[in-house]
Amino acid sequence: MKSTVHCKELPCLDVSGLLLRPAYYASGVPDDQQSVGVNPPDFVLSIQLTSQDFPYSLQVLGSCCFPCSLFMVPICLWDPKVVVAVLNIYISDILFGTSPGGNQNSTSHTTRILCWIMTGPKNLESRTNHIRATWAKRCNKVLYMSSTKTDFPTVELNVSEGRENLYWKTIRAFQYIYQNHLDEADWFLKADDDTFIVIENLRYTLSKYDPEKPLYVGRRFSPFIAQGYMSGGAGYVLSKEAVRRFNKGFQTGECTHYSTLEDVAMGKCMETMKVEAADSRDVKGRQVFHPYPPDYYVVRRPPRPRPWYLLYDHYTPVEGPGCCSDFAVSFHYIYAVQMYALEYLTHHLRPYGYKYRFNPDERTEIKTTTKMAKSKSRPESNRESVERTENCCSQTLSIQPH
Amino acid sequence: MFMKGMIMGGIFCLVLSLLASFNPSTEHTTEDHHHHHLQAPSKDELKHFSHSQMEDLSNQVRVYCIIMVQPKILVYWAAAIHTWSKHCDKAVFYTSEASKALEAVDLNEKDDWARLRKALTHAYENAGDLRWFFVAQPTTFAIIENLKYLLLTKDPNEPFYLGNAAKSGELDYVVYDSGIVLSYEALKRLVNVFKDEDKCPERGGSLWNVGEEKQLAMCLKYTGVFAENGEDIHGKGLFNSKSVESLISDSMQANPTNVVEGCCSDMAVTFNGMSPDQMQVMMFGVYRLRPYGHDFHDLLLFDPPVGSNND
């Protein structure tokens, strides 16, 4: 079924709730050779929907859809009738209902994240409270794991408090999640009650992986474990398959309470169960998970041998502004004031009109037409999208049922 | 007799009313700057401008940064050079005495007020085609893009004097350490009144024991320029005399259930009291760190500075 698209000045359609796996590749390259960060002259945005309501896979061929970001499909490419017919009620809510950004409470069907926070009764008010007030609400699901059940609410893990019991807590937490919440998410984040997480950036980082593969993502450390292990404080993420294998490991006895060092012990089990340790760095090789606060990394230093807090890094660490990704996911040893300060710096304070240097989605730079002259100040982006639609709306929209 | 009395009374009345309406101070321009609050433009306001008008506006808001330094605070001086000042269209450092380590305009002046006067005069004489002036202390951290947004629709040929406005008795003044903004017209009037030793003495500081921020306000007042508070469209102050952490800490006390919203503006222009290391972290926090997927469709675009790698 093919239909010619009609150009209209319409806002971007947020399909982040419907996207499983974005695939950018030059036309003709098959699906399994996807690689984010490659800049082909044309791109294909492939949307696959697993829900029974949406049995179609949509492919849009074109190169002009710049004004919208990764999970936004510009409506310039779609006849609204076609969109509504194929994508059902979800779309009409977005098009004619509330604003696209307003779907705060809609679960992302693609990169759903369950966050569990390792905490204890002593820290609920002084630390965990502030996590709840800041980043926890962006998780698809959040669980606060403690030794006791409270109205915070916390989940009781039947383990006593203390550093030596951290691995027991982790084991019990993942067991609890496996038994009660496995289907509610694709990825399972473990964080401490002094870890600051940027969930949007975690989603972005994880979007390039398949949660059905056994994967383990975080700040990779070298010692003790052959394939390395992920820093506990910086937060780490297990894919759904990794959670299954972690639990299986303890059921069969392949994994044991190897160490009181929670992150090393987790690394050992992951290695035993053949869960792969991933490279979480961004396309520029900058770190995304951080076991210390930003000032440890960002501050410029003269060239020197690795300081103690960088000794374990698996990938050669960089000190100074090149340390950390624009889309950083975590910082650790963040207490109340810094937690809110980071929330403010990440989600609130911004430089108006600033053209960020790092723009991984800016693909159309390669295929700019002569109309797109760069100037120091630009008018409303909508005007530019009208110019670009002249190009893209001559493309055809193909919809293939599967 | 009666007629004489009437005429006397009439003349008396006339003279009285003439005296009352006689206002010795100043030229007020058509725009009354007594309203004290200066708000940033709203998105709707900006939608009315055409492409070329926006180009003109963005050219008009170019900023000349006047950064007052001293050799004894070299680390802050260096921090300003390597962080926020790179975003000024022109950043000039004015020092009390020369330093071998860093370059600046050496004013060779220990008195704070006299030094500020000299710096402002120098800036006026070297403004070129820049029309907005931002005076900072070494402990100030500024986000120049947000300053430009605040000033976007304001005419620099009108007298503007703004920042974090405070009151001392009857005098409204702009607090120094959260940054002082002057339009070209305000600076022009100021440089003129510097010549008047009665209204605006050079050694006034030692005479009256009043800080230079208040002296500045007094001199400007003589020229009909009044302090205004720079605010966002929600009325939140954009110029802060405290650091981010300090403001957050205050907000945790004042608004424990709504700490971040109750704190500072999303479009804040200045903070003060941050260490050089914290300023480097701010560069990362402001110009890099952000959540993926949020597009703002701002109506202006500011390119990153050339030859800089921490923004």
What are the sequence ranges of the domains in chain A?
113-348
Could you tell me the CA-to-CA distances from A217 to A185, A205, A231, A285, B205 in Å, in that order?
16, 9, 10, 15, 61
User: What is the interface pTM, i.e. ipTM, of the complex?
Assistant: 0.87
How many CB contacts within 8 angstroms connect chain A with chain B? Answer: 178
Position B208 scores a pLDDT of 65
Q: Are strands A236-239 and B37-39 parallel, antiparallel or unpaired?
A: unpaired
For the full predicted model, state whether its pTM sits above 0.95. Answer: no
Could you tell me the CA-to-CA distances from A172 to A18, A211, A247, A250, B229 in Å, in that order?
33, 21, 9, 10, 56
- Does the beta-carbon distance from B245 to A338 stay under 8 Å? yes
Inter-axis angle of helices A262-272 and A166-180, nearest 10: 50
- B278 min Cα distance to partner chain A (Å): 7
- A136 vs B: CB within 8 A: no
Please, are residues A323 and A297 in contact by the beta-carbon 8 Å criterion? yes
Write out the E strands in A218-329: 220-221, 229-230, 236-239, 276-277
- B231 min Cα distance to partner chain A (Å): 14
Which pLDDT tens digit goes with each residue over B192-230? 999 999 889 888 655 567 889 999 999 999 999 999 999
Contact list in B for residue A134 (CB cut-off 8 A) is: 260
Q: What is the mean pLDDT of residues A141-170?
A: 92
- Give CA angle at A203 (B280, A397), nearest 5°: 120
Could you tell me the CA-to-CA distances from A166 to A181, A234, A383 in Å, in that order?
21, 15, 55
- Does the beta-carbon distance from B293 to A204 stay under 8 Å? yes
Q: Tell whether the model's pLDDT for residue A396 goes beyond 50.
A: no
- Does the beta-carbon distance from A352 to B289 stay under 8 Å? no
Residues in chain A: 402
Q: What is the mean pLDDT of chain B?
A: 89
Lowest mean pLDDT among A84-88, B161-165, B235-239, B304-308: A84-88
- Does the beta-carbon distance from B264 to A344 stay under 8 Å? yes
Question: Which chain B residue has its CA at the smallest distance from A66's CA?
Answer: B295
Question: Which chain B residue has its CA at the smallest distance from A16's CA?
Answer: B293
Tokens of A209: 């992986």
Inter-axis angle of helices A166-180 and A240-252, nearest 10: 110
Q: Tell whether the model's pLDDT for residue B66 goes beyond 60.
A: yes
- Give CA angle at B152 (B146, B158), nearest 5°: 125
Of A295, A300, A347, the CB nearest to B291: A347
Side chain identity, residue A104: Q
What SS3 state is found at A27? coil
Position A18 scores a pLDDT of 41
- Does the beta-carbon distance from B259 to A340 stay under 8 Å? yes
Residue A114's closest CA among A180, A64, A63? A180
- Strand order, beta sheet including B105-106: B37-39, B227-231, B161-163, B180-183, B132-136, B63-69, B90-95, B105-106
> In chain A, positions 34-53, which contact chain B (CB-CB < 8 Å)?
none
Dist CA A65 CA A75 (whole Å): 9
Of A320, A340, A352, the CB nearest to B146: A352
Of A204, A326, A353, the CB nearest to B302: A353
Contact list in B for residue A326 (CB cut-off 8 A) is: 288-290
- Does the beta-carbon distance from A351 to B145 stay under 8 Å? yes
Number of C-beta neighbours around residue B157 at 10 A: 13
Q: What is the mean pLDDT of residues A125-146?
A: 96
Lowest mean pLDDT among A8-12, A110-114, B45-49: A8-12
Please, are residues A345 and B285 in contact by the beta-carbon 8 Å criterion? yes
Please, are residues B149 and B300 in contact by the beta-carbon 8 Å criterion? yes
Which pLDDT tens digit goes with each residue over A76-93? 444 444 443 334 334 333
Q: Tell whether the model's pLDDT for residue A119 goes beyond 80.
A: yes
Q: What is the mean pLDDT of residues A226-247?
A: 96
Of A349, A355, A376, the CB nearest to B266: A349
Which pLDDT tens digit goes with each residue over B263-286? 999 999 999 999 999 999 999 999
Q: Tell whether the model's pLDDT for residue A24 goes beyond 70.
A: no
| DSSP codes of every residue in A321-336 | GGGB-TT--EEES--H
Burial of A122 (0-12, 13-18, 19+ CB in 10 A): exposed
Specify whether domain A113-348 bears CATH 3.30.1330: no
What SS3 state is found at B229? strand
Position B150 scores a pLDDT of 96
> In chain A, positions 3-22, which contact chain B (CB-CB < 8 Å)?
16
Lowest mean pLDDT among A112-121, A160-169, B114-123: A160-169
Of A71, A352, A379, the CB nearest to B149: A352
Burial of A371 (0-12, 13-18, 19+ CB in 10 A): exposed
- Does the beta-carbon distance from A351 to B286 stay under 8 Å? yes
Q: Hey, CA dihedral for A137, A138, A141, A145, is it positive or negative?
A: negative
Q: What is the mean pLDDT of residues B296-308?
A: 89
Contact list in B for residue A355 (CB cut-off 8 A) is: 301-304
Position B311 scores a pLDDT of 94
Q: What is the mean pLDDT of residues A213-242?
A: 96
Q: Tell whether the model's pLDDT for residue A389 goes beyond 50.
A: no
Position B10 scores a pLDDT of 67
Position A79 scores a pLDDT of 42
**Test the B interface: residue of A346, A354, A380 with most B CBs within 10 Å:** A354
